[in-house]
Structure 1
Amino acid sequence: MQIREATAADWPAIWPFFRTIVEAGDTYSYPRDLDEATAREMWMLRAPGHTAVAVDEDGTVLGTAKVSPNHMGGAAHIANGSYMVDPRHAGRGVGRTLGEYSLDWARAAGFRAMQFNAVVETNTRAIALWESLGFEIMTTLPEGFHHPTKGYVGLHIMYRRL
């Protein structure tokens, strides 16, 4: 598996699994009916942000990540990351590889830490992954996320120094 910067040519491969993940409504706080143009604008970042893809030896996009400043001004030294793995390629280490890559990229770009603002507490696979990469749950917003089948569940804020 190779991780590289995403290009506009990658979007047609990203969009189908992006749409599937967002429409499910159980891990992202994006509107479930997010249109493609808005999704592309939100995901395919320009500097100082960075969007990457994980591809296999055939060039198939397996997953994607984006990293950007979490806030502006005096808080711009904290990165934020978001990740999506094509469900057809889950369980192959794509998320871990993207996570490790994004931490290295953020460190090299001068960020001092990374913060995840909204990790749904029922997303236990993601939480276990982020904790294994050194993230801590700093707090949980009770009922901060409306899950489509579990109702109102907590929303974690996770953090790791770089």
Structure 2
Amino acid sequence: MLIRDATPDDWAAVWPFWHRIVSAGETYAWDRDTPEPAARALWMAPANRVSVVEDESGAIVASAYVRPNYGGPAAHIANAGFMVDPAHAGRGIGRLLAEYVLEQARSDGYTGMIFNAVVETNPAMKLWESLGFRTLGTVPGAFRHPTRGPVGLNILFREL
């Protein structure tokens, strides 16, 4: 596996799994019908440091972004988003990418990372906990899961 900084041309490979994951409506608090241009603007924004993971064949199988959670005196706390192509789930790609991004954020000068809205039923919760994130709080029923109904959104934090 190769993890590298994304280029604008990488979006064409990220979009299909980004769209598949978001349109499923199970793990991200983004509009399930987000059009491609809006998704690209969100994920590939100039303020984001975007990474991609290439598998052995050179195919892009995951991506992540890091950006300041807020500006000004709070700009030292990072926010991030992660997606692994569901066709490549269960291979340790998410952990590999998460460890890389956490180190990248630390080297970029961030002192902590926060996730503002992790769906409490998201299988990635186990990964985040194993990497030292702790749940600061849960907003009950804040996410309308397509099969489970209202579930909570967790706010996670980890010092870097």
TM over 0.5: yes
The aligned residue for residue 17 of structure 1 is 17
In the TM superposition, what whole-angstrom CA distance separates every residue of 1:93-121 from its partner, at most 9, and x where no partner exists?
Answer: 11101100110110000000000001101
CA distance in 2, matches of 1:135, 1:122: 16
1:146 partner amino acid: R
Query: Displacement, 1:57?
Result: 2.4
Query: Displacement, 1:45?
Result: 3.0
The aligned residue for residue 138 of structure 2 is 140
Instruction: Specify every segment of 5 or more residues in structure 1 that has no aligned partner in the other structure, as ranges.
Output: none
Contact 1:45-1:66 at 8 Å conserved across structures: no
Equivalent position SS for 1:127: helix
1:114 partner amino acid: M
2:76 partner amino acid: H
Equivalent position SS for 1:106: helix
Count residues in correspondence: 160
Contact 1:21-1:27 at 8 Å conserved across structures: yes
Contact 1:85-1:95 at 8 Å conserved across structures: yes
Equivalent position SS for 2:23: helix
Q: Residues 11-160 of structure 1 correspond to what in structure 2 (within 5 A)?
A: 11-47=11-47, 49-123=48-122, 125-160=123-158
CA distance in 1, matches of 2:71, 2:20: 30
RMSD: 0.8
2:12 partner amino acid: P
In the TM superposition, what whole-angstrom CA distance separates every residue of 1:59-82 from its partner, at most 9, and x where no partner exists?
Answer: 100100000000111111100011
Equivalent position SS for 1:46: coil
Equivalent position SS for 2:26: coil
Q: Could you tell me the TM-score, scaled by structure 2's length?
A: 0.97
CA distance in 1, matches of 2:6, 2:94: 16
Matched-pair identity in %: 55
CA distance in 2, matches of 1:88, 1:26: 16
In the TM superposition, what whole-angstrom CA distance separates every residue of 1:105-153 from its partner, at most 9, and x where no partner exists?
Answer: 1000000000000110111x20000011110011111111111111110
Q: Could you tell me the TM-score, scaled by structure 1's length?
A: 0.96
Give the ranges of 4+ consecutive aligned residues of structure 1 lying more than 4 Å apart after TM superposition. none
